[in-house]
Amino acid sequence: MSHSRTRVVVVGGGITGLTAAYRLRQARPDLAVTVLEASPRLGGKIVTEHVGGFVVEGGPDSLITFKPQAVALASELGLASRLTPAVESTSGSYVVRDGRLRRMPDGLAGFVPRRLGPVMTTPLLSPSAKLRMALEYAVPARTDEADESLEAFVTRRLGVEFYRRLVEPMASGIFGADPAELSLHATMPHLRAAEQQHGSLTRFVLAERRRSRTTDSRPAPGVVAPAGGLGELVTALRGALHDVDVLTRTRLVAVEDTGRRRYRLALVGPDGTPGTVEADAVVLAVPARVVAAATGTLDRDLAPVLGDFRCGSTVTVNLGYAAEHVPPRIRGHGYLVPSQEDRPARACTWSSAKFAGRAPRGHSLLRVSLGGPGRDVLTGVDDDSLVALARAELEETVGVTAEPVLARVHAWHGVMPQYTVGHGARVAEVERVLARHPGVVVAGSAFHGVSVPDCVASAERAACAVLASVDGYL
């Protein structure tokens, strides 16, 4: 090649972009890697603040362990001893029904009833709903590959009431979207796999139970987190990138294919000055709308597909209280709010009960999630009003009336991916078009999964694709 050193530009300094840069430099120390981040800080939706002894998470607060990529990365970065499981003695959660907290039945991992007793005795379901659920094994399995909504799948297999009272609040709480529109393939592919491989979810659970009897190992905790919050993962990644150029307040404007397997990126720097950088490969670890805006000159076939990607908005309000002002109404990690309750909140997490050390001695930390499907609370609402909404939620549901000693608001406007039905096909089409431009890849929550482990896995796939591209050309 005419230039002396192969350069890769990673656009996006969230967990995906940082992981991609780390994996690239780890595999090929000779690569010149540059990370561009439009905001003043790194981490994307991971925002951890330490305020007055509180550990405040503005975005995700934990790592799910059944997707091992993030835990493996954290361990590799020296954080293994920092990873702490959620407090088992306060496990479980609640759901709001008719304004009152009701205990969620245990054993609903992955939206599948893995334990019959708790589901059959819960007051959340009527006798007819329990009978319908018990007959799931007799429901014919779909064997085609067509996508369907999460609502359609659960209703088809387990009934309408099971969906509305149990799955809908869980799914909307996790994804911040309407499960009636969410793609099953993109959000819960294990459910379709279970149906296709075993004929029913009931047979799948029985098979899993038989398999577990053959192993003596204790099950891993469902979620873990660094003792000081997920920000520790971002800090560790940044420390590992000591020889990588990381430019914040630097916005991508456009990506141009020069026709020589080189790409020219138009940028706007911190002081508003335009600039350019050339690269042999580009990782676009940013929201779909940013990819669409930047790739208009790269390939005109991208914009129509990327225009069908949807994003929502959400708010997290962290409130700290003196412990004596928080009635011990629940013993779990928090509660979920179904959309039919018609409330601005979709969930509340008892953060200081979920993980030790999240609040100073004698205090409690609660996190209220506002917004989501049918809950437009962001338009024209200031932080004080959002805090008031969160406080009203806690007062009505669990009786917290005191003035909080801490209030932190984190609003996420139009950046929460909504994987509507057909999402996988849209991603495949984006990747098909980008194949015309070797070395340009997309990654991150807009495309390959919303959880932190999903983002880590997406970053690792992107790094492998880039390495294959540049190595094949050198």
Tens digit of pLDDT at every position of the chain (474 positions): 334 689 999 999 999 999 999 999 999 999 999 999 999 999 999 999 999 999 999 999 999 988 899 999 999 999 999 999 988 655 568 888 888 888 888 877 778 887 778 888 888 899 999 999 989 989 999 988 899 999 999 999 999 999 998 898 888 888 888 899 999 999 999 899 999 999 999 899 888 878 777 655 555 568 899 999 999 999 999 999 998 999 999 999 999 999 888 999 999 999 999 999 999 999 999 999 999 999 999 999 999 999 999 988 889 999 999 999 998 766 678 899 888 888 889 899 999 999 999 999 999 999 999 987 665 666 678 999 999 999 999 999 989 999 999 999 999 988 889 999 999 999 999 999 999 999 999 999 999 999 999 999 999 999 999 999 987 654
The whole-number pLDDT of residue 13 equals 97
Six token digits for residue 20: 């991609």
CATH number for the domain whose boundaries are 104-213? 1.10.3110.10
Q: What is the pLDDT of residue 377?
A: 60
| pLDDT of res. 98 | 84
Give me the pLDDT at residue 474, please. 47
d(CA 229, CA 61): 7
Please tell me the predicted confidence (pLDDT) of residue 111.
80
Structure tokens at 156: 């088809």
Instruction: Map residue 193 onto helix, strand or coil.
Output: helix
CB 355, CB 225: distance < 8 Å: yes
Asked if 7-45+231-309+420-473 and 48-89+310-418 have one fold, the answer is no
Dihedral of CA 23/258/430/469: which sign? Answer: negative
Residue 54's nearest CA partner among 471, 358, 451, 438 is: 358
Compute the distance between CA of residue 421 and CA of residue 468 in angstroms, rounded to an integer.
31
Joined together, the tokens standing for residue 435 give 């194949």
What does pTM read for this prediction? Answer: 0.92
Backbone angles phi, psi at 13, to 5 degrees: -105, 30
Three-state DSSP state, 228 = coil
Q: Any idea what DSSP says for residue 98?
A: T
Domain layout of the chain by residue ranges? 7-45+231-309+420-473, 48-89+310-418, 104-213
What CATH number should be reported for the domain whose range is 48-89+310-418?
3.90.660.20
Number of helices (H) and strands (E) in the chain: give both, helices first.
18, 20
Nearest to 332 by CA among 91, 48, 156: 91
Predicted confidence at residue 2, as pLDDT, reads 39
Q: Pinpoint the alpha helices (H) of 52-188.
A: 69-76, 116-121, 127-134, 150-158, 160-162, 168-175, 184-187
The CATH class that applies to domain 7-45+231-309+420-473 reads alpha beta
Distances (CA, A) of 321 to 51, 52, 231, 316, 333: 13, 12, 23, 16, 16
pLDDT at 402: 95
Angle between helices 201-213 and 189-198 (to 10 degrees): 90
Pick the closest to residue 229 from 455, 58, 458 (CA basis): 58
Contact 193, 143 (CB under 8 A): no
